[in-house]
Structure 1
């Protein structure tokens, strides 16, 4: 049995992982989804890392899985949790000294998302709340369950420079081919530039834990 500590992205809701937790448990593994202090205007990067460690509830030797913004906090929890692996899923991959606020310009995010939308014939201006960008492949009933929950993301986590060096644990990068927010070609480039690796690719959009939980678990435990 492997214990997977599951770190959500913006909004910080453990609920994002509920289908993955169910599938991991069905297969005899443990999924521990953590809530992050995303609604706290005073919470900084260290507070997010502390929340991940606290959410593990004393477990060590875990595999950490970080989605999207979780790419900033999950790697920093590897040492205190004595992690045996790290998986980044459609994640922001930081470099030492870079803030979350700087990441967008440093990586060329705006050109990537705009270029992918233009290629696909989509109008980003017509999707101001990003529901089509984020939820286009999420089943309607699952998306509705998410929409019924409050979404809060304060900016404190974006202000702190990412400290230290990359954790010395086996690290995998997972990118989904249908991601409209972090297009797959963008993720390939960032993974190669920052970690010297090619991502493992699968079908699905940015919120793949909601749209394809079974396939994601196949990959996590594979």
Structure 2
């Protein structure tokens, strides 16, 4: 039995994973999807990791999965805790020595995002949650999620934490083909440069666990059952 430790992105709501969790549990797997302390401005990545590991307890045969802002926490858990595999889903793939606050510029995201916005003809539209995040999430799921939303403070972006070393475990990167926040080509490049793997690209936007839970569940299961299929056993990460 696989234990899945699922870490959400901004807002830290474990509810984000509920559709995927249902599907994984139906297979007989164990799922831990903790609420992370996103609304605590004093909490940075080390605290997120502490909360996640407390929820995990002494479970074994663990695959840690990080979505978006959950990526750095998942990578740190994979570095320090015995896990079978690290899976990064539309994630902020960290580089060694780079803080989450520096990620936006160092990764090239700012330029990529500006180009994507221009290409969509939205230069003067400003931030639009519907366009960036909810465009492919069913309306009933969006409505159900309202009560689970919490403010994301800047704790992880200003606490100065950075990844000390790349985790010595197999890595899979799953990318949403239709992600408007982290465009797919950008993510594929980071997967090669930072994780040393070819990304698995599936239909769906940034909130893959809500927009395409069937496809994401298949990608997660494939990652642990057929590593060669994911391309996750390729070269080690490039030097930063």
| TM-score tier (shorter) | over 0.9
Supply the distance in 2 between the matched residues of 1:37 and 1:182 (Cα, whole angstroms).
23
Cα displacement string for residues 21-67 of structure 1 (whole angstroms, at most 9, x for unaligned residues): 10111122222111111111111221011011112122132000000
Tell me: CA distance 1:158–1:71, structure 2 relative to 1, closer, same or farther (3 Å).
Answer: same
Supply the distance in 2 between the matched residues of 1:124 and 1:181 (Cα, whole angstroms).
14
How many aligned residue pairs are there?
Answer: 221
Contact 1:65 1:87 in 2 (8 A): yes
4+ residue segments displaced more than 4 Å? none
The Cα of 1:129 is off from its aligned counterpart by 4.3
Contact 2:99 2:163 in 1 (8 A): no
For 1:145, the equivalent position in structure 2 comes to 144
Structure 1 gap ranges (5+) = none
Counterparts of residues 182-201 of structure 1 (less than 5 Å): 182-201=182-201
Cα displacement string for residues 87-127 of structure 1 (whole angstroms, at most 9, x for unaligned residues): 00000011122111110011121221121232233x26435
RMSD between aligned residues: 1.5
For 1:202, the equivalent position in structure 2 comes to 202
SS in 1 for 2:201: strand
The Cα of 1:17 is off from its aligned counterpart by 0.3
Contact 2:15 2:148 in 1 (8 A): no
For 2:6, the equivalent position in structure 1 comes to 6
Q: Using structure 1 for the length normalisation, give the TM-score.
A: 0.94
Supply the distance in 1 between the matched residues of 2:84 and 2:15 (Cα, whole angstroms).
24
Q: Using structure 2 for the length normalisation, give the TM-score.
A: 0.87
Tell me: CA distance 1:194–1:80, structure 2 relative to 1, closer, same or farther (3 Å).
Answer: closer
Supply the distance in 2 between the matched residues of 1:72 and 1:209 (Cα, whole angstroms).
18
Tell me: CA distance 1:125–1:147, structure 2 relative to 1, closer, same or farther (3 Å).
Answer: farther
SS in 2 for 1:22: helix
